[in-house]
Amino acid sequence: METKSENASFGGVQGVYAHASEATGTDMTFGLFLPEEARFGPVPILWYLSGLTCTHENAMTKAGAQQFAAEYGIAICFPDTSPRGEGVADDDSFDMGQGASYYVNSTQDPWAKHFRMWDYVTEELPRLIGQEFAVDLDRQAITGHSMGGHGALTIGMGLGSERFASISAFSPMCRTMDSDWGTRQLGLYLGDDREAWRKHDASEVMRERGFDGPVLVDTGTADQFWDKLKPGALAGAMADARQQGSFRLQPGYDHSYFFVSTFIEDHIRFHAEALYG
């Protein structure tokens, strides 16, 4: 593992690190904020999955999360959104290929060689961080924005409360199986069998299994991608599943990091309550 940078932040350290990934077969970069408490022993960790076109850097620099993570004594990891580099498959559109993994393990060429982000985020990166940093992997929570909100929900529910104490999402893609942000992409990554797509549709997973723990979802009423995100599908699925949690529509907010930074304190406090009991 290579240390790219480390900066003091709110009494803790915001680092950027790179390593050779077995899951993706590429070098991967991630950001990790460690609060001051990590100097004395392992702290809980919150995973933040970013959206389309983002790298590890977007949320790390724009969400304003470090201040509140420091207040509550929580580490935050900011993984990249996809494998990158020479020889990695890509697409001319912004919503497919590099920067747009949808956090799936692809089974179709040319994507299957490197696009194994489910395994990277759920297995390889936690293992590496647990080995290298003062992080308590028995206390994990997950959140994300847009495509990352989709990933947080599907991964969080997929692995369940045995892995995560809580799940939250900002403006998540809620219904990928019949959306402009999902149908083409899941078909190319996973093939024509729509049954294989189901575990990567947050509304389907919510309706089928839900989550044995608290869930918090925020979406802005002025979100310019409302028709692609399909928030009504997830709200209905949460109601049908009688899911413990909150689905909040925030008046006047759009899809940007101005929205995320406005409500990031709420989300970190929500996760702190679950992580610390």
Catalytic residue among 56, 114, 255, 267: 255
Mean of pLDDT values over 6-14:
98
Report residue 277's pLDDT band, with 50, 70 and 90 as the boundaries: confident
Residue 40 and residue 18: Cα distance in Å, rounded? 24
Which of 50, 10, 12, 44 has its CA nearest to residue 30?
Answer: 50
Q: pLDDT over 70 for what percent of the chain? A: 100
CATH number for the domain spanning 169: value is 3.40.50.1820
- Pick the catalytic residue: 80, 201, 218, 223? 223
Q: What is the pLDDT of residue 270?
A: 98
Task: Tell me the average pLDDT across 231-252.
Answer: 98
Q: Which residues constitute the domain of residue 107? A: 2-276
255 belongs to the catalytic site? yes
CA–CA dist 120, 123 (Å, integer): 6
Q: Is position 223 annotated as part of the catalytic site?
A: yes
Among residues 82, 101, 106, 146, the one annotated as catalytic is 146
Domain count, the chain: 1
pTM of model > 0.85:
yes
Percent of the chain with pLDDT over 90: 100
Report which of 243, 179, 257 is spatially closest to residue 205, judged by C-alpha positions: 243
pLDDT in tens, 31-63: 999 999 999 999 999 999 999 999 999 999 999
Predicted local confidence at residue 134, as pLDDT:
98
